[in-house]
Structures are given as C-alpha cells and as structure tokens.
Chains A and B, each alone.
Chain A
Amino acid sequence: MRPRGLIVGTWAVAALTFIALILFVFLKVPVAQPQAGGLAQKIFYFHVPAAYALYLCGGVCFIASALYLAGPSDTKDAWAKAGAECASIFGAMVMVSGPLWAKKAWGVYWTWDPRLTTLLLSILIYVAIVLLRSFAGGGDAERKFAAAFGVLGTANLPIIHYSVQKWGGNHPTVIGKGGGGLQDPSMVQALLSGFFAMTLLAALLLTLRAQLAQSQARLLRAEEAAPDTNG
C-alpha cells in the first residue's frame, strides 16, 4: 500500500515552505553588495539548493546504479533512472539561474570556469543517461550500460565541489572552505530553508519518477505477455 497521506503531506509542507521562502527572500532578506550581484544575488537562495538537490539525485542514481550492477531488479533500475532524470532537471534549474546571476555579477552569462565546466559535464552525463533510456529501449544491455554510466557520471560530483577550491576561477566560495559566508542572519535562514525545501522536492520528484519507471516496466512486461492487445 502506498503511503499516500505521507506523500500529500510532504507536498503540502514543500509547497508552503517554497511560498514562505519566496516571500522571505523578496521582502525580508537584504540585498547584497554590488560585487556579489546586488539584487540579483537573491537568485542564490534557490540556485545553491538546486545544485545541492542535483548532488542528492546524483547520489541516488549512483547508489541505485551500483546496486543494479550487483544484482539487477526493476526497483533498482527505476531509482537509478529517476535519479538521472531528477539530476537533469535540477541541473537545468542551476544552469538557468546561475548565468542570470553571472550576467549581473561578472558581466557575462557564461565563462569556462572550472566549476561551471565540471557541472556542465555532469549534467550532460545525466542527460545522456535519460536520452539513452528514452530512445534505446529498456533491454537488459541498455539498463546495464546506463547503470555503468550512472556510476561513472557521479564520480564527477566531488570534482565539481572541490574544483572551486583547487583550481580557482570566478565562481564564489561563499559556502565551505575559504568562503567569507553570509553576513546577515536572514541570509543564512533563507539558504537553510532553501536546502530544506529542495530536499523535500527532490524526495518527492524521485518518488514520482521511480513509481513511473516501475509502472513502465510493469507495462512492458504485461505487453510482452499479451502482444495482441495493442491499440
């Protein structure tokens, strides 16, 4: 039995947190210094949590892919597929919001900065997994190839995180080693709320997509069992 009440409750909490966060960010959180993008810096409160959600979904893709390679099952494959799909979506959110902030802070939408480049590479890997699963069918070989790609692709995630500290570039280091941090308590509150809301959202999206992938696998098997009922 599906824990429907829990899922509906989580959706409600996530939606309310996002609404409250948007109001808080626009009405209460102060504008940052011009070098940090000024008003455009407020993109940060969704951009960074979206990047974190990408890591989270990439982690799910990695674990499920590794488990699938160890012992294939529809459930593991569904979670690996869901992880790659959700990582692609959060990656798109990061890639849309980041350049809009960079235009204000750096004067350019894109630069081949180490973090930006490694992040783009990771997103392209997840998109490749999604495309592979969408167009190459759901056979055992395709599933195993996608799982291997999911394991290898996720190896890039720590490189994204440490690239900004090891190789320099333009990307700020507000969080983590070397960063000056957020200089107002409301900035910290907004960021933490963003992490909380994005964690809920990632969990919900992963659950939805894993359910869909499992239903699709069931449908495939049912159609194989009853080929003359098509149409």
Chain B
Amino acid sequence: MTQASPAPATVESRSQEFRPVSGGSTDTSSAGALLVTAYVLMWAILMAFLFMTFRRQAAVDKRLAELERALPKRSDS
C-alpha cells in the first residue's frame, strides 16, 4: 500500500529556507514549464482586469456625457 500524499506533515519537516544550489535541479524541464505558466497566468489575470476596468470606465464616461448633453435640452424645452 502506498502513501497518497508526498508532502511533509509537520511544521519541523517542511521547507523553511530557500538555499541556492549549484547547477540547479536535475529535473528542471517540468519546473520551467510550471514557472512560465505561473508568470503567464498571473499577468494574463492582471491584464484582463485592467482591460475590463478601462473598458467599463470608458462606457460609464460615455453614458455620463450623453446624460449631460441630454439634460440641458430637457431644461430648455
């Protein structure tokens, strides 16, 4: 029977420091892919949020300008 979780279970056994190693990990291919994926996804989330914010602000500004144009006409009539 095998253990399901490879992760350490106690406070003492988990990673508590990041030490540099010469030459890096011997298994870097999947780590590289995970690293690039993480960076791309983080920036994609941020850019999508910014895009939505600017688009919404533009829509609100446009509608406010329409209302400001319409209000003097109503008060004139």
Q: Interface on A for B, CB 8 Å cutoff?
A: 22, 30-44, 46-47, 50, 89, 92-93, 96-97, 100-101, 103-108, 111, 165, 168-174, 178-184, 187, 201, 205, 208-209, 211-212, 215-216, 218-219, 222-223, 225-226, 228-229
Contact = CB atoms under 8 A, between A and B. Distances in A.
B70 A108 contact: no
Contact of A46 (B8, B10, B30, B42): B42
Given A96-B45, A100-B38, A219 B67 contact: yes
A101 B20 contact: no
A178 to B, nearest CB: 7
A216 B49 CA distance: 17
A187 B18 contact: yes
B25 interface: yes
B60 A215 contact: yes
Given A34-B21, A43-B35, 20 more contacts: A22-B39, A31-B21, A38-B27, A38-B28, A39-B28, A40-B38, A89-B46, A89-B49, A93-B42, A96-B42, A101-B34, A101-B38, A108-B7, A172-B16, A173-B11, A184-B19, A187-B18, A209-B53, A212-B53, A222-B64
B15 interface: yes
Interface residues of B, number: 47
